[in-house]
Amino acid sequence: MNCLDRFFAFNRRLSSKLETRLPDAFKHHLHTLYKYQVAAIINRRPGQLVLDVGGGKECPFLQFVDQPQTHIIVALDCSEQQVRQNHQLALRIVGDAALSGFPLRDGSFDLVVSRSVVEHISNNSAYFKNCARALRPGGSMVHAFPGRFAPFALLNQVLPNRLVRRLIGYFLPEWVEEGNYGFVAFYNRCYYTAIRDLIRDNRLTNVRFVFTYYQALYFTSFFPLYCLMVSFDLTAWRLGIRNLASGILVMAERERDRAAPAAATVRGNDILPVSEVAG
Ligand SMILES: C[S@@+](CC[C@H](N)C(=O)[O-])C[C@H]1O[C@@H](n2cnc3c(N)ncnc32)[C@H](O)[C@@H]1O
């Protein structure tokens, strides 16, 4: 361990001491909330058709689903390379979620979800429209993503992607092990009021938001900066400034069509894959 490594390790120890004193609200991780929320919706009844947009290499909520064999879960991702590595799901489709329309039949899914994807979509107006159209009447959507105006997200927007990848590689080596970082991020409309408007434009109902504010965790390697970031997070949280939230979880439903059945039954031909990924 060289001098610099020891310096950062010392700073991380100081930061972790302060971290234990932070409010409980800062202990809820967005990804954990997402996994439980998605699994809770799936566990309401068997036989659901679920679309995991930007599914990538893994299906994070699958381990919390009670009877996974009764559901059809489809991963849609623009990267064939990513989705090929997803061995948890049998149905994987390559397609760009930001184009006009998913390569899937409209109105067929019980649930459309995404984790850490909205920030990578260049056109979220099209994306939310696609998600809303993919849902059957009464179907739900859940998306978890970072807020555009949180300091770490601002840094991600101003620094070159190559530098961000190098910084993550050095300061957050556990991310590198997961191999799930460094995708180009646009943060298009990635803040509360913009997403609220997109939800309203698509006439979705039963809308619920959850916000997280603790993003100082990205700065633990330099204690003075960590303290500054903790102050920022505490202020934004205490004042409830939702547009400064570092994590956003949004849940909404497509309006129930009176003529449509309450719960669709899963059938293989309910979906229309354009290009499926093999093995
Ligand atoms: C940070 S990864 C998240 C993967 C997975 N959802 C998870 O939580 O582990 C972002 C994923 O979104 C995919 N993605 C980015 N832009 C996309 C787009 N326009 N359409 C479909 N997928 C996209 C990437 O290929 C990548 O697999």
What confidence score (pLDDT) does residue 178 get?
Answer: 67
What confidence score (pLDDT) does residue 258 get?
Answer: 57
CATH number at 66 reads 3.40.50.150
Does residue 172 carry a pLDDT above 90? no
Answer whether residue 179 is part of any domain: yes
Answer whether residue 83 is part of any domain: yes
Give the residue, 267 or 164, on which the prediction is more confident.
164
Answer whether residue 270 is part of any domain: no
Q: Which residues does 23 contact at the CB level (< 8 Å), separation at least 6?
A: 234, 237
Answer whether residue 264 is part of any domain: no
Query: Closest Cα to residue 116, out of 45, 182, 194?
Result: 182
Answer whether residue 279 is part of any domain: no
Look up residue 251 and give its amino acid.
Answer: M
Answer whether residue 278 is part of any domain: no
What is the model's pTM? 0.90
**Residues 103-162: pLDDT tens digits?**
899 999 999 999 999 999 999 999 999 999 999 999 999 999 999 999 999 999 999 988
In angstroms and rounded to an integer, the radius of gyration of the C-alpha atoms of the chain is 20
Cα separation, 51 vs 140, whole angstroms: 11
Q: Alpha carbon 96 to chain centroid distance?
A: 16
Domains: count for the chain: 1
**Where does residue 239 fall: left (phi above 0), alpha (psi -120 to 50 degrees), or beta otherwise?**
alpha
Tell me what the mean pLDDT of segment 169-183 comes to: 75
Answer whether residue 118 is part of any domain: yes
Around 1, how many Cα atoms within 13 Å sit in the side-chain half-sphere? 7
Does residue 8 carry a pLDDT above 90? yes
Does residue 279 carry a pLDDT above 70? no
CA of 17 to the centre of ligand 1 (A): 34
Q: How many CB atoms within 10 Å of residue 85?
A: 13
Answer whether residue 193 is part of any domain: yes
Mutate to test the pocket of ligand 1, among 78, 104, 143, 161 (most ligand atoms within 8 A of CB): 78
**Residues 21-36: pLDDT tens digits?**
999 999 989 999 999 9
* Full domain range(s) for residue 20: 3-256
Ligand 1 pocket residues where CB is under 6 Å: 54-56, 58, 60, 77-79, 82, 96-98, 115-117, 120-121, 180, 183
